[in-house]
């Protein structure tokens, strides 16, 4: 990393020593998990570069945008509509929450029995190692699960720019009205933050930009239906993870370039793994960078992951926003419609999610589903039990995993995953 | 128990063998915890009788009501407005959730990391040992915490009469509108269940009945300000627990009779414990029958509990419903106003609860606060940390407890409670 970055990080208030340690661990993990893979698409070199510069060049770009007067908005959830952020001439970035950091400090503010994702978000703040968080002009929290909802009360004591978005728990008339009200309130907040009024023109352009990102991932996802799978689950997950960080246009272009390459691979029957490799659909909690534990275990145990039913995956990206509206109101309605379909486990009941899992299992020809639950994530852990039952009634084998970010259970997980893969091969 | 009860329980579909075992354990616990207390008010004999007949005479009364055409509504939460149930000529009862039962069966449907209260409610159903649940014509669930919200999806597979009430997470305009809509929907559901239209007259009478119950408990609470405390925390908690089960008018009369007696005790400076006994306020999660673990430990360790900031306590009963309205609409608005003030930890932010804890600590002259958290109850466990901090900043000692219904940690809890009592005596 250049000295430039060090002074930038210092200005952002990062703890350089801790941050160096974090980047060291991240670099080693990336080497071991990603760069050691065989038969990778050449286009993944772009994402390798992005990851090598994830706290460097990308932050420099954000700082340059800020210097030019553009605002940065940080988020922890797919319910924060990027369309409105872009239309107000701001940039949306996902905030760090994929690794344990400063846990001793975190557990002074949050109960030990809090899910790893939430604890991680606090750890990155308390450890002063997240340049995205520190560069953000506004941090958007959302009332999804109890854990996040209550944690934001404490996060609000640690930062002075937290904005909390309320969300419904039921898809009812009132629930939809709440989402709509909250999105209009967020639109106003974006306009106030940037001083830029959202117009029909800027909103249409923003919808186009975000839809293009999503469409590129749809194209990537569809190519994973092939056998042999042309790309590893790890690499596909990384694309879904970088979706939250990267410059949108560049991201779209890079994913489409990989898709061009994958189409050629498919024509040549070339894959990341041999044809006939057992195929796994992962379903459940989000996997934020650098939480690659489960896919690494799966793909070094003789199977390939062909889809992610996850916020960092199809749950987050599956639907486009209707761009046909002519007025701000029409497009706002389309945005509400689009996000209202997200089948997060915070909703009760949530039948669409099970239907989507079954649909994905069929579409991607999965031999089995691994339900990925973060320990203490009540909504997904509770939904996992009926999901498993429903899948097994349809003869779709399902393995329920309940884990955190530590590596303590890696051996045990690998044993369970290997046994599951043997089972679905049989 | 008479043979009459056995045939009643059989008709209700209870598992007599398990139910006998439960009643045996309950009886022994009551003997050990309640009847062994010294200096009890004579009026507590009524509650001793109620408890000895909790699955007997009270159920017989409910069955008689049912035979006469009256409907029984079961609930798990103080957000279910008893006023509307009574006004539709039905009876509201709290459902069993204070003891572990059939845990092996429960953990096939709910994750192990689910709070004891929720697991218990499933255990009583799966073990077929809750005559209240089995006699209910309608079971009302509510979207409070993630755990309950998602658990009701599974409970709905076990019973055919579950009604789910949505609740807000934020006290906003939309949140209030949701509560109002849901209470009007519940009113309609009550009328449909009973075939009885709620009128201004019946609603006013119902408000009066429920307010009288609450006012009796307010009177009881106020008397606990005295030193020596005229009644043990265990006995006062029992009154708050029976509030959910008993015939309302009889309950009110019985509590007021105890209050008459306590007034005399206070005049004579007689107490359940000596003057100067360290005084504890318990704050946090509800303690349902027979979850008497913490107060038993506290009151056999040299302290007396003088208040419960809890759903089974002042959080549930503190506010009366304004009965001055003349129309159904005016009284419905008063009901919404009343329940909207309940400061459950599901709300974000929830500053009223901290204010109430501080207010109670002062009013009841508590020497310290024990925050009672059920393990895996995210809303209360997360709120406990800032509550503890805020109290200690005001020099109110606070002990945070995180426990379940098992007795495994009783020794450890007792050690911590004793140390805390030593600290506040110092």
Size of chain A, expressed as the number of residues it contains: 426
Closest Cα to residue A348, out of B350, B126, B145? B145
Question: B42 is written with which tokens?
Answer: 């004579």
Contact between A209 and A248 (Cβ < 8 Å): yes
B77-122: pLDDT as tens digits: 999 999 999 999 999 999 989 999 999 999 999 999 999 999 999 9
Residues of A in contact with B344 (CB under 8 A): none
Residue pairs between chains A and B whose CB atoms are closer than 8 Å = 127
What's the pLDDT at A426?
77
Exposure on the CB side of residue B302, measured as CA atoms within 13 A = 13
Q: Does B153 contact A386 at a Cβ distance shorter than 8 Å?
A: yes
For chain B, the residues whose C-beta falls within 8 A of a C-beta of chain A are 108-111, 113-114, 143, 145-147, 149-154, 157, 164, 166-167, 169-170, 172, 174-175, 177-178, 181, 345-346, 348-350, 375-376, 378-379, 381-386, 402
Residues of B in contact with A169 (CB under 8 A): 143, 149, 166-167, 169
Query: CA of A356, closest CA in chain B: separation in Å?
Result: 18
A-chain residue closest to B345, CA distance:
A150
Query: Nearest by CB to A113, which of B145, B348, B376?
Result: B376
Measured distance CA(B185)–CA(B179) in Å, rounded: 10
Q: Does A150 contact B379 at a Cβ distance shorter than 8 Å?
A: yes
What ipTM is given for this predicted complex?
Answer: 0.96
B358-396: pLDDT as tens digits: 999 999 999 999 999 999 999 999 999 999 999 999 999
What's the pLDDT at A328?
98
Measured distance CA(B36)–CA(B367) in Å, rounded: 25
pLDDT tens-place values along chain A, 426 residues long? 567 899 999 999 999 999 999 999 999 999 999 999 999 999 999 999 999 999 999 999 999 999 999 999 999 999 999 999 999 999 999 998 999 999 999 999 999 999 999 999 999 999 999 999 999 999 999 999 999 999 999 999 999 999 999 999 999 999 999 999 999 999 999 999 999 999 999 999 999 999 999 999 999 999 999 999 999 999 999 999 999 999 999 999 999 999 999 999 999 999 999 999 999 999 999 999 999 999 999 999 999 999 999 999 999 999 999 999 999 999 999 999 999 999 999 999 999 999 999 999 999 999 999 999 999 999 999 999 999 999 999 999 999 999 999 999 999 999 999 999 999 997
Query: CA of A372, closest CA in chain B: separation in Å?
Result: 14
Q: Does B181 contact A166 at a Cβ distance shorter than 8 Å?
A: no
Query: Nearest by CB to A382, which of B143, B150, B375?
Result: B150
Query: Nearest by CB to A153, which of B109, B157, B386?
Result: B386
DSSP A339-378: HHT---TTSSS-HHHHHHHHHHHHHTT-SEEEEEEETT-H
| Percent of chain A clearing pLDDT 70 (strictly above) | 100
Cα angle at A412 between A406 and A415, to 5 degrees? 135
Residues of A in contact with B352 (CB under 8 A): none
A-chain residue closest to B145, CA distance:
A146
For chain A, the residues whose C-beta falls within 8 A of a C-beta of chain B are 108-111, 113-114, 143, 145-147, 149-154, 157, 164, 166-167, 169-170, 172, 174-175, 177-178, 181, 345-346, 348-350, 375-376, 378-379, 381-386, 402
Query: Nearest by CB to A348, which of B143, B376, B386?
Result: B143
Residues of B in contact with A166 (CB under 8 A): 169-170, 172, 174-175
Residues of B in contact with A348 (CB under 8 A): 143, 149-150, 152-153, 164
Radius of gyration of chain A (CA): 21
How distant, in Å, are the alpha carbons of A328, B47, B220 from that of A340? 18, 50, 48
A214-235: pLDDT as tens digits: 999 999 999 999 999 999 999 9
Measured distance CA(B187)–CA(B194) in Å, rounded: 11
How distant, in Å, are the alpha carbons of A173, B122, B247, B292, B404 from that of B98? 35, 11, 20, 9, 10
Query: CA of A172, closest CA in chain B: separation in Å?
Result: 10
pLDDT above 80 for B238: yes
Residues of A in contact with B176 (CB under 8 A): none
């Amino acid at each position: 990393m250049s000295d430039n970055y060090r002074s930038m990080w210092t200005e952002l208030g990062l703890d350089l020593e801790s941050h160096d340690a974090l980047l060291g661990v991240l670099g080693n993990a990336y080497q071991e998990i990603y760069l050691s893979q065989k038969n990778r698409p050449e286009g993944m070199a772009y994402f390798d570069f992005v990851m090598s510069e994830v706290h460097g060049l990308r932050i420099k770009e954000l700082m340059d945008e800020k210097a030019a007067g553009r605002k940065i908005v940080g988020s922890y959830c797919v319910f924060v509509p990027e369309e409105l952020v872009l239309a107000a001439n701001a940039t949306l970035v996902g905030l760090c929450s994929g690794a344990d950091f400063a846990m001793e400090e975190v557990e002074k503010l949050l109960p030990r029995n809090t899910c790893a994702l939430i604890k991680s978000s606090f750890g990155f703040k308390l450890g002063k190692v997240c340049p995205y968080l520190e560069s953000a002009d506004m941090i958007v929290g959302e009332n999804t699960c109890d854990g996040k909802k209550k944690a934001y009360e404490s996060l609000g004591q640690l930062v002075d720019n937290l904005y909390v978005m309320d969300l419904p728990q039921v898809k009812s008339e009132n629930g939809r009205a709440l989402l709509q009200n909250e999105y209009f309130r967020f639109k106003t907040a974006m306009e106030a933050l940037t001083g830029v009024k959202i117009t029909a023109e800027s909103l249409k352009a923003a919808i186009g930009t975000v839809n293009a990102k999503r469409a590129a991932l749809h194209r990537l996802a569809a190519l994973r239906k092939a056998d042999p799978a042309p790309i590893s689950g790890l690499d596909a997950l990384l694309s879904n993870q970088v979706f939250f960080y990267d410059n949108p246009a560049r991201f779209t272009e890079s994913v489409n370039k990989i898709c061009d390459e994958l189409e050629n691979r498919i024509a040549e029957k070339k894959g990341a793994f041999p044809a006939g490799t057992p195929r796994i659909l992962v379903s459940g909690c989000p996997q934020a960078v650098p939480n690659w534990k489960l896919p690494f275990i799966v793909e070094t145990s003789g199977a390939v992951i062909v889809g992610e039913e996850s916020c960092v995956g199809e749950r987050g990206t599956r639907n486009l926003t209707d761009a046909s509206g002519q007025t701000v109101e029409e497009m706002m309605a389309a945005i509400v419609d689009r996000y209202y379909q997200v089948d997060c486990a915070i909703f009760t009941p949530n039948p669409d999610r099970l239907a989507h899992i079954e649909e994905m299992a069929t579409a991607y020809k999965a031999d089995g589903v691994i339900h990925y639950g973060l320990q203490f994530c009540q909504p997904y852990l509770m939904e996992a039990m009926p999901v498993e039952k429903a899948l097994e009634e349809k003869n779709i084998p399902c393995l329920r995993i309940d884990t955190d970010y530590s590596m303590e259970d890696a051996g045990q997980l690998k044993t369970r995953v290997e046994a599951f893969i043997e089972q679905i091969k049989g």
